[in-house]
Structure 1
Amino acid sequence: MAPVSEDPQVASFHHNARDYSLTRPDYPSEIFRLIADAAPSNDRVWDCACGNGQAARGLIAHFAHVDASDISEAQISHAPKLENVEFRTASSEHSPYPDGCFDAVCVAQAFHWFDHPAFFKECHRVLKSEGILAVWGYYRHSVDARISQVMEEHIVPLMSQRWSPRNELLWHEYADISFPYPELAFEKPDMKIRWNLDEYRSYILTWSPIRRMIEEQEGDGGKRPLEAAMSRLEEAWTDEMGRKNPEMKKEVEFTLAFRMFRKP
C-alpha cells in the first residue's frame, strides 16, 4: 500500500476544501455523547485530522476544550470560529500537544489515511490513563430504489478503478487494523440526512474518485460521462407519483463504521 503522502486522493482534500465544508453530512450527535460518556472526564479532547471542523462542532457540546488539528491549511481555513475550540495545522503522527493531556482522541472520516503504527504511538503519548480512542467514518449509502439503480449502473462504474486501496480499510470497518487497546461495546447510532437533488449531487462531486476522473480527463471529454450520469440522476429524483421534483428532500442513510477503545 502506497504511503499516504503519495496517494493522489489525499491532494483532493486540500484542493476541494471549500466544497467539503459546504456539502459533507454532519455526524450523528449520539457519537459525541457516547465518547463523552466513556471518557474519564470531559475536560479536553483532540479532534485529529479535523478537516473543516465538523466533528469539533459536535465535540464542543460535551467537552470543555477541543484541540482540532489537520495537515491541510486549506481545510483549517474553512473551519468555523468556535468558542473553546483551537484549530491548528499539525500531523496526526507528530502533534504539538503535551503528554497525557487528553480525555479522548477522535478521528472522523480520516483514520484510513493514517500511518497507523506512528499514530498509535502518538495517541498513547497524549492520552490520559483510561482515555478513549474513537474512530469513525461513513461509506455506503442508500436513498431509494430508483436512485440506487442510477448509482449502481452509471456512477459507481466511473469510480471503480479510481478508489485508493486505503478506502478498503474503511469499507471493512477497520477490521484489518490491529488496535493497541481493548475495544468498548456499544450500540452504533444511525446516520441519516435529508437532501434535495442539488445537495445530494454536490456531495457526490466531492468524492475523490470523481474529482480525480475529471482532473485526469479534463479537456478530453472527462466530464461527459459524469454529466450523462447526473442527467439520469435528475430523471430519477421523483416524488411518490413518479413526477420529477428536484426540490424534494429524500432520506439518505449512510453505513457508519464507529469503534471506541480505552487506554489501560
Structure 2
Amino acid sequence: MADLFHKQAEQYSETRPTYPPELFQFIASKTPSHDLAWDVGTGSGQAIKPLSEIYENVIGTDTSMKQLEFAPNIPNVRYHHTPPLMSIEELEETVARESTVDLVTVAQAIHWFDLPKFYEQVRWILKKPNGVIAAWCYTVPEVNDAVDSVFRPFYTIDSAPYWEKARRLVDKKYEIIEFPFEPVEGLDETGPVEFTAERELSFDGYMRYIRSSSAYNTALERGVDLLTEDVIEKFRRAWEEDGRRQKVVKFPVYLRIGKVGICH
C-alpha cells in the first residue's frame, strides 16, 4: 500500500495529528524495559520523536522511501526502507535479533498489513515474556458542529467508493482487527483504549489534510476530484462561521495493546 502515500508524502507529514504524550506514557508503562522499540510503517515519523525520548534506541521502517524522506533526524533513531514482506533472516539483518525488542508500535498502518505473517515476526522479535505490541488508529477529524456537518457526508457518501476495504478496520476503531496477544498488566482485554490527538490547522491546512487521504488520491487517479469548487465553498463557509482562522482539530485515537507470553 506504499504507493497510496508516495505522491502525498509531504502533505501527509504536514497535516497528520501529533499523538498525545499520554499515549506513549501509557504504552511505555507496560514495557518492563526501555532499550529498543521498533516502529513499523513509520511513514514520516509521527510516532518517532516521543518514542525516542523514552526508549534508548528506536528503529523506524517503512515500505515508502518518499515517506521516510520527511521523517525526523534524531541521534538514537535509525530508519530502513523495507519490502512489504520480510523473511526472518531479513528481519534479523535489518531490524534486530530474536527476542531483543521491548516494544513494537504501529501507528495508523496495521490495517494494511498481512497480519498472520506480521504477527509471526512480532512474536519472534519481541522479548519474552512481556514484550509489547501497540497498534493504534485515529478516526475522522472533529472540528466543530458546522465543519463536521459538512465533513460527515463528504466522508461517508462522496469518499466512500474510493476507500480501500482495509479502511473499515479503522472505522470500527480496530475493534474487529485480529489481535492474538495477551492483555498487558492492568487491562482485562487488549483494548481498544481511547485517547485524543490534536493538531492546530488553518482552513488551507484542513484542506491539505483531506487531499492527503488515500481516498482523495484514488479518486483523482480515476479522474474524479472530490473537492469541487462547490464542496470547497461549503467547507469554507462552515470554517469561517466562528470567525477563527486557526482551529484545534481533534482526532479520536484507538489503541490495541498486548504482550507475548513466555510460551511464544
* Superposition pairs of residues 1-264 of structure 1, within 5 angstroms: 10-91=2-83, 93-94=85-86, 95=91, 96=94, 97-129=96-128, 130-154=130-154, 156-184=156-184, 185=187, 188-217=194-223, 222-223=224-225, 225-240=227-242, 243=243, 245=244, 248-264=245-261
Question: 1:157-214 CA distances to partner (integer Å, 9 max, x unpaired)?
Answer: 3201111110111222223233221123286322233322111111111111111112
Identical-pair percentage = 29
State the distance in 2 between where 1:155 and 1:50 align.
25
Equivalent residue of 1:128, what SS?
coil
Could you tell me whether the CA contact under 8 Å between 2:141 and 2:251 is conserved in 1?
A: yes
Could you tell me whether the CA contact under 8 Å between 2:138 and 2:252 is conserved in 1?
A: yes
Equivalent residue of 2:55, what SS?
coil
Could you tell me whether the CA contact under 8 Å between 2:101 and 2:125 is conserved in 1?
A: yes
State the distance in 2 between where 1:20 and 1:204 align.
10
Equivalent residue of 1:260, what SS?
strand
Structure 2 letter corresponding to 1:14: H
State the distance in 2 between where 1:171 and 1:22 align.
23
State the distance in 2 between where 1:154 and 1:168 align.
16
Q: How much has 1:34 moved relative to structure 2?
A: 1.3
Poorly superposed stretches of 4+, deviation over 4 Å: none
User: In the comparison of the two structures, how many residue pairs are matched?
Assistant: 247
- RMSD of the TM alignment (CA)? 1.9
Normalised by the length of structure 2, the TM-score is 0.87
Could you tell me whether the CA contact under 8 Å between 1:28 and 1:190 is conserved in 2?
A: yes
Structure 1 letter corresponding to 2:169: L
State the distance in 2 between where 1:236 and 1:32 align.
34
Aligned CA distance change for structure 1 residues 188 and 174 (closer, same or farther; 3 Å): closer
State the distance in 1 between where 2:31 and 2:83 align.
23
Could you tell me whether the CA contact under 8 Å between 1:105 and 1:132 is conserved in 2?
A: yes
Structure 1 letter corresponding to 2:235: L
Could you tell me whether the CA contact under 8 Å between 2:216 and 2:225 is conserved in 1?
A: no
Equivalent residue of 2:228, what SS?
helix
Q: How much has 1:153 moved relative to structure 2?
A: 3.8
Could you tell me whether the CA contact under 8 Å between 2:41 and 2:109 is conserved in 1?
A: yes
- Range moving further from structure 2, 48-57 or 172-181: 172-181
Normalised by the length of structure 1, the TM-score is 0.87
Could you tell me whether the CA contact under 8 Å between 1:17 and 1:52 is conserved in 2?
A: yes
